[in-house]
Amino acid sequence: MSSLFSAIPALLLITICYAALCAVSPLGNCRKCGGFGFQIRKNRRGRITRGRDCRRCHGHGKRVRVGRHLYNAASRVHREGTR
């Protein structure tokens, strides 16, 4: 029981830090393309060339963070409910 009480402040601190990160930087790098916006390919000679645009981020190289997505959904529901 005492380990639970010692874990709660740590979880609260992690949550506050992630919320601050989502507020400061709502976009993160795409996990599929690594932020490049396209796939990296090798041609027959072994040189690295640009491939197709990433399907997940549509060539932008950025994605919306999970916390920011949840905040956007909650604010959208609140905004539509108060109209």
d(C-alpha 40, C-alpha 43), whole Å: 10
Report d(CA 23, CA 34) in Å as an integer. Answer: 22
| Tokens describing residue 30 | 């795409």
pTM: predicted TM-score of the whole model, two decimal places: 0.69
Alpha carbon 59 to chain centroid, angstroms: 15
Residue 27, H or E segment? strand 27-29
Interatomic CA distance for residues 23 and 60, integer angstroms: 20
Note the pLDDT of residue 69.
93
- pLDDT tens profile 40-62: 889 899 998 888 999 999 999 99
